[in-house]
Structure 1
Amino acid sequence: MIIALFKSTFEILKKNYYKAQFEPTILSIFINPSYFIRRDLFNNISILALKIQGSLLDFGCGRKPYQNLFTNSFSYIGLDLDHSDKLKNNVFADLFYDGVTIPIEDYTIDNIFSSETFELLPDPNQILCEFNRILKPGGKLLITVPFVWEEHWRPYDNVRYTEIGIKNLLQNNGFEILESRKSTSYFASVLQLFITYLWRVVFPNNKLLKGLFTILLISPFNLLGIIIDFFSRKNSDSYFYLNTVVLAHKKN
């Protein structure tokens, strides 16, 4: 009885912890060292997700952290790379692909969503060709890509995109840009990188100590950053940011 209660409580805490890593909650301020990048990604995706209707493919879905934002989608399919069994246990994919061909029939998907995945692709043009193949005419693509961020998912991390770069890539592959957003203000971007440095380099590797340092030291930076970012955002230029969020549609 006690063991079952402990497991249930642990699972609830684990679920809330993971949720706080991607959604801008009060809890996120105190436990999320990536608060600013995740907050602004969540907010921008939330706005553009409302313009998505019909079936949706989440390309590079991971654990599907943004699924609940697509309230107008009647079908949500998560797809990820066919990794090792260990990595598969950390994703909630409905389908896996071999890195080349998406196992979906031609012209059957209304929309595609892909967040923080394109920087990992060795040949984005080939994948966009696949997107064109499976999307219905006029189908929409909502994509987010990093512009400034640390190297991750080694050895797959390949490239960074400016807003101009990702828009050109999409346009050269048969997509028309509907809306583009630069995610995270200048001040928040700089502060986020500083916080990430503390968390990655300065803090000890012990998980318990790292969590304690996050609550005690990073949360004050998050709180201070929220206040300063609120007053400085309107005056912030758009030359330094962390991510680009783009909504496009297939031309034909």
Structure 2
Amino acid sequence: MNRVEKFSNFCAYTLIPLLTGAKKAPDVYITDGFYLNWRQMKHSMHKAKEYATGVCLDIGAGKAPYKHYLESHCKNYIITDSETTHSHMFKDSHTNFVIAEATLLPFDNESIDTVILTQVLEHVFDYEKALREAVRVMKKEGVMLLSVPFIYQAHATPYDYHRFSEYGLKILLQTYELEVLEWHYQGYLGTTLFSIINGFIWEKLACIRSLRNSVLLPFILTIFTCNNVFGLIVDLIPAKHFSPNFFVIARKKA
């Protein structure tokens, strides 16, 4: 590896996470391109933590960024994800980690008190099977913390298959006998628009990755910061039909 490659890797894996707080997600800094989305999810988890009880199952959790919000309310916190897609990211970083597909969970019927299913269903081609499995393992009157994207850029490609409207999601929850306790719009037009713009800038500059991650980085992070501020301002106008994500707290009917 030559010096240019070493410097580029230093910027990508050390400098950028330091300047954006990426490794602390969802507690990222306003310089992060997805600050607005993370901010919404953090607020949602603060509201939802009182619902987390007993045995908690975080399905498709990746690095389990919400564990520290919820685990103090849980008797046992179990993390699952797919070995074929993401396990290299987190397999050695958690206790109570179980390799499992969302569509085939290795848990008994009605054995889980709280299911956490955040930003997962869009990555499962047979998302209804995944939801059916989540409901199967939930105890009666158990709680599900669910988030899905609506207007959101393609991510974790090529494992990105679906988007969910508010009305379709509500019918889906009714179909699986999940009663909505709380419904949250995770931002409005500001979060939607400026997060997409930030993502577009970062992705399109990937063709000059070494420059993007070094010489251009101060300018890019300044743009992200300004866009995030504008996003917060625009979000002061409620516009539920322009929300990037929905967060739902639902209860399994007895």
Partner of 1:186: 189
Percent of residue pairs bearing the same amino acid type: 22
Equivalence for 1:247: 249
Contact 1:141 1:247 in 2 (8 A): yes
User: Do the aligned partners of residues 130 and 104 (structure 1) sit closer, same or farther apart at CA in structure 2, a change above 3 Å counting?
Assistant: same
The equivalent of 2:10 in structure 1 is: none
Counterparts of residues 31-42 of structure 1 (less than 5 Å): 32-42=32-42
1:90 matched to 2:74? The reply is no
Q: Tell me if 1:121 matches 2:120.
A: no
TM-score (norm 2): 0.82
How far apart are 1:19 and its partner, in Å?
A: 3.2
Looking at structure 2, the residues matched to 48 and 207 of structure 1 have their Cα atoms a distance apart, in angstroms, of 40
Match of 1:101 in 2: 104
Question: Which residue of 2 is the match for residue 141 of structure 1?
Answer: 144
Distance of aligned partners of 1:128 and 1:225 in 2 relative to their CA distance in 1, 3 Å threshold: closer
CA distance in 1 between counterparts of 2:107 and 2:65 reads 22
* Structure 2 gap ranges (5+): 1-12
Shift of the 38–215 alpha-carbon distance from structure 1 to 2, 3 Å rule, reads farther
Deviation at 1:211, TM superposition (A): 5.5
Which residue of 2 is the match for residue 218 of structure 1? 221
Q: Does structure 1 residue 80 correspond to structure 2 residue 81?
A: yes
Instruction: Describe the shift of the 1:208–1:107 C-alpha distance in structure 2 as closer, same or farther (beyond 3 A).
Output: farther
- Partner of 2:196, secondary structure, is helix
Q: Which moved more, 1:139-148 or 1:214-223?
A: 214-223
Residues 210-240 of structure 1 show CA distances to partners (whole Å, capped at 9, x for unaligned) of 26534433334424532x4454433232210
> Do structure 1's residue 48 and structure 2's residue 42 form an aligned pair?
no
Q: In structure 1, what residue type is equivalent to 2:186?
A: S
Aligned-pair CA distance for 1:182: 0.9
Q: Normalized against structure 1, the TM-score is what?
A: 0.82
The correspondence for 2:23, drawn from 19, 22, 32, is: 19
**1:211–1:140 Cα change, 3 Å:** farther
Does structure 2 conserve the Cα–Cα contact (< 8 Å) formed by 1:145 and 1:245? Answer: yes
Query: In the alignment, which of 217, 237, 240 is matched to residue 239 of structure 2?
Result: 237
Shift of residue 250 of structure 1?
0.5
Q: Is the 8 A contact 1:180 1:247 kept in 2?
A: yes
Gaps of 5+ in 1: 1-10
Residue type at the aligned position of 1:53:
T
Separation in 1, partners of 2:90, 2:251: 27
When residues 218 and 164 of structure 1 are mapped into structure 2, their CA distance, relative to the original with a 3 A threshold, is farther
Instruction: State the match for 2:133 in structure 1.
Output: 130
What secondary structure sits across from 1:142 in the alignment?
strand
User: Per-residue CA shift, 1:80-109, capped at 9, x if unaligned?
Assistant: 11316xx42202461112453200112111
How far, CA to CA, are the matches of 2:186 and 2:180 in structure 1?
Answer: 17
How many residues are paired up? Answer: 235
Corresponding position of 2:6: none
Q: Which runs of 4+ in 1 moved over 6 A?
A: 11-16
AA at the equivalent of 1:102? L
User: Structure 1 residues 13, 132: CA separation in 2 closer, same or farther (over 3 Å shift)?
Assistant: same
Shift in CA distance, 214/192, structure 1 to aligned 2, threshold 3 Å: farther
What root-mean-square deviation, in Å, do the aligned CA atoms of Structure 1 and Structure 2 show? 2.5
Partner of 1:153: 156
* DSSP 3-state at the match of 1:129: helix
Matched residue SS, 1:239: helix
